[in-house]
């Protein structure tokens, strides 16, 4: 019975997506190709609704779950659904992300435990990663795969620390993400939309902080686990900011996007990213109790730097030939 929650999350997500694709509900929100898209045909963008219902259904089987995880999650989910349907401007949805971050910071007792300075850092981290996950949801199988490997890493680490309840809570997210991935791996039949990517980004940080509070891992652990997303998005947006470009403006400059534009293909990009996701998660789990793990961090920084450098070089050559 201990794995009932992830099984329910997987089953509910899978069944709901199947029903969505067989009904007119798939037409509620559709991703229509544009010059910034990496796909060439219309795809439903309602998979995130099934994903979140799957997660919440699985968690409903668990005896205790704090309101400061659930309530902010539902808030950002609801606003993200409206965003998918009505394309809300940033000035309307970003305050909701701030509100959700405040609810978590207050509810989890972050200020009392760590002080105002760290609470403020974590506040902006929640908002940043919540949106970062959305930035990285642009290729078949990518965001769903990161959820599988990332929350799987959380689950394994918590299990090894004998925190079975928290482990199952994270594996429940994995189960829902796996159900979604069945329909999202290339060629994708459905996308998750903001209704899926925004709540997942919120959960990346809040579950990471909660795991640290429970003593399951060091403070750097969640950052390394989700580093394949964090590094790509952060470096790309910093480079755009230095050029004076608005970071909220849609683009195709992420490293995974450039790889696809150069002809690598969604499937190969996803599988390559999966290898990074698995490697980051497994090494983080192995060294989870080390306070700093400097050597581990240096190794991964070097790996990412080399990969980005090689893609940058190839992109310049490809761009020159294309123009």
Distance separating alpha carbons of residues 65 and 55, to the nearest angstrom: 12
pLDDT at residue 72 tops 80: yes
Contact 76/70 with Cβ under 8 angstroms?
no
Instruction: Specify the pLDDT at position 11.
Output: 98
Contact 267/186 with Cβ under 8 angstroms?
yes
Instruction: Specify the pLDDT at position 35.
Output: 67
pLDDT at residue 216 tops 80: yes
pLDDT at residue 245 tops 90: no
Contact 84/45 with Cβ under 8 angstroms?
yes
pLDDT tens sequence across 101-120: 999 999 999 999 999 999 99
Instruction: Specify the pLDDT at position 1.
Output: 66
Q: Is 30 left (phi over 0), alpha (psi -120 to 50) or beta?
A: beta
pLDDT tens sequence across 248-306: 787 889 999 999 999 999 999 999 999 999 999 999 999 988 888 889 999 999 999 99
Distance separating alpha carbons of residues 318 and 73, to the nearest angstrom: 42
pLDDT tens sequence across 32-62: 887 677 887 899 999 999 999 999 999 999 8
Mean per-residue pLDDT, 82-94: 94
Listing DSSP states for 114-142 in one string gives HHHHHHHHHHHHHHHHHHHHHHT--STTH
Q: Where are the domains of the chain?
A: 4-322
Instruction: Specify the pLDDT at position 64.
Output: 74
Distance separating alpha carbons of residues 125 and 207, to the nearest angstrom: 13
Contact 27/44 with Cβ under 8 angstroms?
yes
Distance separating alpha carbons of residues 263 and 268, to the nearest angstrom: 10
More confident residue, 37 or 217: 217
Which residue carries 């990009």 as its tokens?
269
Helix (H, G, I), strand (E, B) or coil at 44: strand
Distance separating alpha carbons of residues 94 and 116, to the nearest angstrom: 22
Output the pTM of the full model.
0.96
Residue 266 has, within 13 A of its CA and on its CB side, a CA count of 17
pLDDT tens sequence across 121-134: 999 999 999 999 99
End-to-end distance of the chain based on CA atoms, in angstroms? 59
Distance separating alpha carbons of residues 31 and 45, to the nearest angstrom: 6
Distance separating alpha carbons of residues 69 and 81, to the nearest angstrom: 18
């Amino acid at each position: 019975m201990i794995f009932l929650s992830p099984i329910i999350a997987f089953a509910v997500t899978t069944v709901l997506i199947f029903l969505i694709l067989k009904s007119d509900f798939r037409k509620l929100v559709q991703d229509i190709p544009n010059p910034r898209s990496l796909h060439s045909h219309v795809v439903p963008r309602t998979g995130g609704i099934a994903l979140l219902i799957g997660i919440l259904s699985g968690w409903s089987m668990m005896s205790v779950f704090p309101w400061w995880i659930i309530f902010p999650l539902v808030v950002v989910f609801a606003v993200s659904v409206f965003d998918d349907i009505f394309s809300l401007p940033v000035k309307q949805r970003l305050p909701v992300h701030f509100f959700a971050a405040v609810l978590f910071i207050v509810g989890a007792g972050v200020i009392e435990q760590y002080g105002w300075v760290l609470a403020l850092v974590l506040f902006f981290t929640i908002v940043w990663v919540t949106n970062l996950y959305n930035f990285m949801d642009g290729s078949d199988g990518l965001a769903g795969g990161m959820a599988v490997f990332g929350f799987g890493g959380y689950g394994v680490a918590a299990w090894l620390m004998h925190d079975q309840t928290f482990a199952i809570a994270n594996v429940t997210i994995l189960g829902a993400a796996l159900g979604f991935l069945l329909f999202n791996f290339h060629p994708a039949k459905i996308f998750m939309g903001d209704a899926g990517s925004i709540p997942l980004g919120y959960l990346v940080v809040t579950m990471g902080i909660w795991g640290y509070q429970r003593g399951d891992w060091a403070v750097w652990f969640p950052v390394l686990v989700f580093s394949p997303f964090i590094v790509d998005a952060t470096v790309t947006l910093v480079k755009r900011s230095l050029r004076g470009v608005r970071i909220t403006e849609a683009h195709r400059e992420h490293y995974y996007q450039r790889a696809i534009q150069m002809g690598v293909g969604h499937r190969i990009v996803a599988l390559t990213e999966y290898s990074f996701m698995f490697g980051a998660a497994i090494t983080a789990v192995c060294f989870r109790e080390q306070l700093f793990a400097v050597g581990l961090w240096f190794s991964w920084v070097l790996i990412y730097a080399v990969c980005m450098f090689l893609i940058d070089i190839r992109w310049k050559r490809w761009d020159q030939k294309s123009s």
